[in-house]
Structure 1
């Protein structure tokens, strides 16, 4: 027995040692020397206490090559997964459950577009050379180091990263902005199947010209619904970020304590591990920038230095149209276009599947764009639905635009750089130390025929689906040094200086109005401290606005003293979603039940689930509660005609019953922090027990849906998992940019078991801000280790 126990102990010790060696071999190297090919001079990489690299090079090419190397050390698996998602290659490593996602992305033509786009790029431009050097750094790291643990678990083979991969990932980013996929099928169904009286709550103009002349069959409606579902699920199943919204503001020196502009920004993106942004300070003689980078992109999407700073939010303009084509009854491969039958283009692609036979796709394109219901394969209906998408149709020199924005120290340079961002639509909010602030809604806006409402499926057999060119950039919403002394951007509908209408899927105005109300207070001098409080504001005026018209109905619905007290709690509630409050829990459950009881009978099953994932529901619910005569209140599944009071009562009773069953009989246990939690999910953490190794959380989460601290969940029953929120929080006072503050939601590193994998997660949820070291003396004082990259001999 002693010999057996000794042998077992030796085996355990060897296994532990082997496991320790294995994990250690995968960790980033942050000190010592490493030789890199094509470096012209040594490059210093100083890592601070958060694992942020501060790269100091002698020239631009060396700087970007070093960035690629250290970025790959921390985020190689993220880079791999994002390019596979964008190019429709996930099933090759994740198996048959990702075939539908791959099929969708192949249908979107991102892969095909990227390959063609690369051929047209100016290979002599500084931005292209920067990208080439950056990708070379990534590939040198990949070629000379052990693969990440995720590569081993999934059996991923290494292959070089290319310029086409970077352009493809830009396409994925643009797609994740495109709310049309989730919204247009639902709105078109409401309009064409339920009628204009049901459409009123969505606050859309009624345009008879937009009605599809060729009626859709039932299986075509199923197509549209399936496309919406597939679009909504694709990124979630891949465990990758989806861009959802954002806050940003710039305040002039006349309104700040320091007398210089102050910039704040917190882009709202789906949470994941690793986090979306990779922070790095890059410098060589004549250039210095602290930037937030996306995977496979050498230029910063957010950045600052001592001279200027900028942030971005989603413009929310509608740059994607869905178009129902009229098919030739004698030839299913022809559609009616501009007065004649026109052939559909066709191509074949093959998806490699890890655990099954390859899947061959036949993908078609009409003159309007790719036929997206080909993503459904053989189950697709008879009506081809084409997609016109600005990302595929414009020149879109977005890499060059951001390259210039990384160097834009004047209003003119920032404006010129922003004009090159054509898709996806972005708001660029900018400030400099000289005292200027500016905002440009960056997108190439298409001219549509008069009267066409792109919120609905368009009729491809008429001219309503045509594009009549593009508006000049001067028509885009924008401001420079406004007299009021501040600019705020929060995804709400903006106004063109020339008065053109800009269709879009804009967020609720409430979040922007709340920020604007506070920024408009001339008695406040803004600094880093009160700006933190504004970014962390957990409140909203949406709740009181939605509840006000139905308070009497709720009071009548309460069946006992306990419920009466809960109603009065909602009446007196100011909309703050704090951890210890119970009112937000009750309100958010009630929101879901109101939607379900009012709309679930008309939009049964998947159509209702898709509605819950759209922004138009947020707009609809306050309009619905304010309209006692809306036809939505009647329950179609009964013979009686229900009114608002009856439906509100049913929603109230269902809310109370669900919360008691889920969170406990005592309403005191319904605290928001118990019901509303954040877990950062890794793509491999969706399977047990890997969730314990790779996921980070859960954490009790303050804030909520469309509060300034936009830790947002999907509309649904309690409990709620936070889906998206501030992907970073940044504050830069241009009086001294070296005092800038920020935070990463999880950690700088994407390497499991690394000390920087999740070291910021707890502080993030607590609203803590950390220094973004900029000055050389500050970086030196906070250097934890130094890695020197040397030219290979």
Structure 2
């Protein structure tokens, strides 16, 4: 007993010492939100007020000082995120995560992002404000690296801090641009369908009935008065930071609002992660002001507003990436055929450093169209050389000037000039201002191919007949400026015609766009609160119609009692995804079984890729209304041709049998909250166990589903559980009749530092559809409890 008591006392002491050590460590790693710090290269003192959610309000005498401060503050809250972001495009994740990330590094290292960055940086104007302020921002980041506390993650994975350069910023641009691209996943699949199954199968996938499109219409006025006073599928799944996916935005003109001023909304959809994607900050100098949302390691905000104007983005989803089949010289595999004869591939040797392993080296062949992707993209299994032609690396990159220009515009026309310089990724740029102007610009280098040629399957690289004929002038891009219907919107849906026909792309189905238009057309007296509520809307505009088309094929007389009850639940569902609703659970399982019965026999291993693609989403309303389709027949059953009715009935019965086994025999118990969840995963928290508990935020129940306005994106699979992987990365509502009380929210918190009180303080508000204020009122800002003074260092 004496020994046991002594042992327990020692154990208690050790536990107390450990707790004290962890507490002390947390305090030393905590970001500095108050007090005084000295920074080099400041010409004047900078005062930073941190508001109740940790947003820094930077008050400086000039922009150079402001951006030095921003770089330092951004790094102290998000250095680990910056580190991951800069490593992706450079192919350097294996250095810290080991051999499991080698294939990701090979893929990104082969895309040519680094080579394009080198070329762009060599030609930059070093006297431009965008360049000078970027260097100031980098200076602030690097001062934190030299003098600030090392984030816990660096210690856990054994990463040494390195200085950041302009190339790191361009690598982030490259990663961001590629994560918008869709063609790298779908073009190989469509080519496989065409070449293995035939044109009849492909035609049904690509043909879209216009009745299932909500088209973003073009409208351009004769004159604008607007002066402003300037105050890859599995590979992408393995990424430790967020790829970009979709988005919503709508801007209401003065005639549509109760207070007679523009109201602006934007919620970009991005893969969930911890920390959240956006870093909020507010910069104010005597001649400049912007409240911005910045991606890690980017000095200028891609989303922002001030008292004069607001802007935001959604993904355009135009086709900016094509694959070309090259023809090797039969006598020399290092040469390929062109219209001018054989030409030597450019050879790029790449070395990947792998943690606790030997370095690995690989070689990339590059044709005139781009890098040969065989072996770099897993689902490019073609024996022919397949080169990827990506507009981002093919044309001059002006994104640094673009992002600077968005935040520093002096008029709407000035803003439009910046937007016109976007080449890739294609973006819908949304705009609203205090002078009652609203606008939507589809911004990208659109192009034309020869008549009748589809860019959605592989092109012929040797013939010279499948090349881009021309890049279209920006003035021909679809856009709407102060349209007569008094609002603009974007939900990644089909844009209006270009040169007389709809421009090809990988647009999302009409679901969210249709719902947005339905709600906006209902009235002309919207308030900020109405728009805030609308961002949390979870009613599908299209699912009830899809269900109706499917249920027409089900003979109720052959159903059991529980099957008839499930039939009735679906039949009477209005498409709203609430936690206690039963219909979403039945519908999503029914949908999975329907897609499986329809497509899996033909697609085989490509089935999972297809059913979670934009292609499937867009073809679904067409397919459910086809009585005759080549896809109905199950090619595995000989001497029998299945009909639509057989496919639907089999799918319905299988889905209900699955749900009874999964959730019990009582249909009323099949509520949506039992099968859907969301967790905001940290790169290290993905390892599970205590690391998951410590770093991740969640899991939580949630409302919403795929392609509703509150878009909670998940994959359909065999499990019957729906783990949300992406959704609104922020929700912003800016009311120019009450600009100082504009609203925003992000999924977790402002800081990526686990020991910060702002690590996850916004999570519950976000899940509940609530908002916090984006402060612009100087008196309110100066009342902040946390004030940090940055002084010039001698």
Q: TM-score range by the shorter chain?
A: over 0.9
8 A Cα contact 1:511 1:540, kept in partner: yes
Per the alignment, residue 170 of structure 1 pairs with 173
Q: After superposition, give the CA deviation of every residue in 1:399-427 in whole Å (9 maximum; x if it has no partner).
A: 11121111225221121111122111111
Per the alignment, residue 636 of structure 1 pairs with 635
Write the distance in 1 (CA, Å) between the matches of 2:557 and 2:434: 57
The change in CA–CA distance for 1:133 and 1:633 in structure 2 (over 3 A counts) is same
Per the alignment, residue 88 of structure 1 pairs with 91
Q: CA deviation at 1:730?
A: 0.5
The change in CA–CA distance for 1:542 and 1:570 in structure 2 (over 3 A counts) is same
Write the distance in 1 (CA, Å) between the matches of 2:694 and 2:378: 36
Per the alignment, residue 412 of structure 1 pairs with 413
Write the distance in 2 (CA, Å) between the matches of 1:622 and 1:48: 47
Write the distance in 2 (CA, Å) between the matches of 1:698 and 1:378: 32
Q: CA deviation at 1:239?
A: 2.4
Write the distance in 2 (CA, Å) between the matches of 1:683 and 1:291: 25
Q: CA deviation at 1:459?
A: 1.5
The change in CA–CA distance for 1:588 and 1:55 in structure 2 (over 3 A counts) is same
Task: Say which SS state the counterpart of residue 31 (structure 2) adopts.
Answer: coil
8 A Cα contact 1:107 1:374, kept in partner: no
Per the alignment, residue 625 of structure 2 pairs with 626
Write the distance in 1 (CA, Å) between the matches of 2:667 and 2:674: 12
The change in CA–CA distance for 1:379 and 1:51 in structure 2 (over 3 A counts) is closer
Write the distance in 2 (CA, Å) between the matches of 1:789 and 1:295: 22
Q: Does residue 749 of structure 2 align to residue 750 of structure 1?
A: no
Write the distance in 1 (CA, Å) between the matches of 2:501 and 2:648: 40
Per the alignment, residue 526 of structure 1 pairs with 526
Per the alignment, residue 540 of structure 1 pairs with 540
The change in CA–CA distance for 1:593 and 1:151 in structure 2 (over 3 A counts) is same
Q: CA deviation at 1:468?
A: 2.0
8 A Cα contact 1:323 1:385, kept in partner: yes
8 A Cα contact 1:250 1:488, kept in partner: yes
Write the distance in 2 (CA, Å) between the matches of 1:5 and 1:715: 51
Q: CA deviation at 1:49?
A: 0.6
8 A Cα contact 2:326 2:461, kept in partner: yes
Write the distance in 2 (CA, Å) between the matches of 1:402 and 1:145: 28
Q: After superposition, give the CA deviation of every residue in 1:260-284 in whole Å (9 maximum; x if it has no partner).
A: 1110110111110000000000111
Q: CA deviation at 1:339?
A: 4.6
Question: How is 1:387-786 mapped onto 2 (pairs within 5 angstroms)?
Answer: 387-496=388-497, 498-499=499-500, 501-521=502-522, 523-556=523-556, 559-605=559-605, 607-639=606-638, 640-689=640-689, 690-717=691-718, 718-781=720-783, 783-786=784-787
Q: CA deviation at 1:381?
A: 5.2
Question: How is 1:11-410 mapped onto 2 (pairs within 5 angstroms)?
Answer: 11-204=14-207, 231-375=232-376, 382-410=383-411
Task: Say which SS state the counterpart of residue 349 (structure 2) adopts.
Answer: strand
8 A Cα contact 2:89 2:108, kept in partner: yes
Write the distance in 2 (CA, Å) between the matches of 1:451 and 1:442: 24
Task: Say which SS state the counterpart of residue 779 (structure 2) adopts.
Answer: helix
Task: Say which SS state the counterpart of residue 725 (structure 2) adopts.
Answer: strand
Q: CA deviation at 1:736?
A: 2.2
Q: After superposition, give the CA deviation of every residue in 1:322-355 in whole Å (9 maximum; x if it has no partner).
A: 1111122222112111152221111211100002
Task: Say which SS state the counterpart of residue 565 (structure 2) adopts.
Answer: helix
Q: CA deviation at 1:472?
A: 0.4
Q: How many aligned residue pairs are there?
A: 766
Per the alignment, residue 226 of structure 2 pairs with none
Task: Say which SS state the counterpart of residue 369 (structure 1) adopts.
Answer: coil
Task: Say which SS state the counterpart of residue 376 (structure 2) adopts.
Answer: helix
Per the alignment, residue 217 of structure 1 pairs with none
Q: After superposition, give the CA deviation of every residue in 1:360-417 in whole Å (9 maximum; x if it has no partner).
A: 0111101111112242699965311101111001113111112111122522112111
Q: After superposition, give the CA deviation of every residue in 1:725-771 in whole Å (9 maximum; x if it has no partner).
A: 11100001112211100101110010113211111111101101111
CA RMSD of aligned residues (A): 1.8
Q: After superposition, give the CA deviation of every residue in 1:605-648 in whole Å (9 maximum; x if it has no partner).
A: 2x112112310001122211111211211111112221111111
Write the distance in 1 (CA, Å) between the matches of 2:644 and 2:502: 34
Write the distance in 1 (CA, Å) between the matches of 2:707 and 2:785: 38
Structure 2: unaligned runs, 5 residues or longer: 210-231
Task: Say which SS state the counterpart of residue 350 (structure 2) adopts.
Answer: strand
- The two structures have a TM-score, normalised by structure 1, of 0.94
Structure 1: unaligned runs, 5 residues or longer: 207-230
Write the distance in 2 (CA, Å) between the matches of 1:687 and 1:555: 48
Write the distance in 2 (CA, Å) between the matches of 1:243 and 1:618: 18
8 A Cα contact 2:255 2:524, kept in partner: no
Task: Say which SS state the counterpart of residue 554 (structure 2) adopts.
Answer: helix
- Of 507-516 and 330-339, more deviation after overlay is shown by 330-339
Q: CA deviation at 1:780?
A: 2.5
Q: CA deviation at 1:463?
A: 2.5
8 A Cα contact 1:289 1:406, kept in partner: yes
Write the distance in 2 (CA, Å) between the matches of 1:558 and 1:696: 46
- Of 758-767 and 403-412, more deviation after overlay is shown by 403-412
Write the distance in 1 (CA, Å) between the matches of 2:704 and 2:263: 24
Q: CA deviation at 1:552?
A: 2.7
8 A Cα contact 2:29 2:755, kept in partner: no
Write the distance in 1 (CA, Å) between the matches of 2:257 and 2:382: 59
- Of 576-585 and 537-546, more deviation after overlay is shown by 537-546
Q: CA deviation at 1:198?
A: 1.5
Write the distance in 1 (CA, Å) between the matches of 2:383 and 2:163: 41
The change in CA–CA distance for 1:379 and 1:472 in structure 2 (over 3 A counts) is closer
The change in CA–CA distance for 1:3 and 1:551 in structure 2 (over 3 A counts) is closer
The change in CA–CA distance for 1:528 and 1:409 in structure 2 (over 3 A counts) is farther
8 A Cα contact 2:208 2:622, kept in partner: no
Write the distance in 2 (CA, Å) between the matches of 1:409 and 1:269: 30
8 A Cα contact 1:409 1:432, kept in partner: no
Per the alignment, residue 209 of structure 1 pairs with none
Q: CA deviation at 1:316?
A: 0.6
8 A Cα contact 2:539 2:576, kept in partner: yes
Q: CA deviation at 1:497?
A: 6.2
Q: After superposition, give the CA deviation of every residue in 1:438-484 in whole Å (9 maximum; x if it has no partner).
A: 11111111232222211111111223431223100001111111111
8 A Cα contact 1:345 1:364, kept in partner: yes
Q: After superposition, give the CA deviation of every residue in 1:11-69 in whole Å (9 maximum; x if it has no partner).
A: 22222222222222211110000100101111111001101111110100100110010
Write the distance in 2 (CA, Å) between the matches of 1:199 and 1:381: 18
8 A Cα contact 1:558 1:564, kept in partner: no
Write the distance in 1 (CA, Å) between the matches of 2:706 and 2:71: 36
Write the distance in 2 (CA, Å) between the matches of 1:252 and 1:598: 45
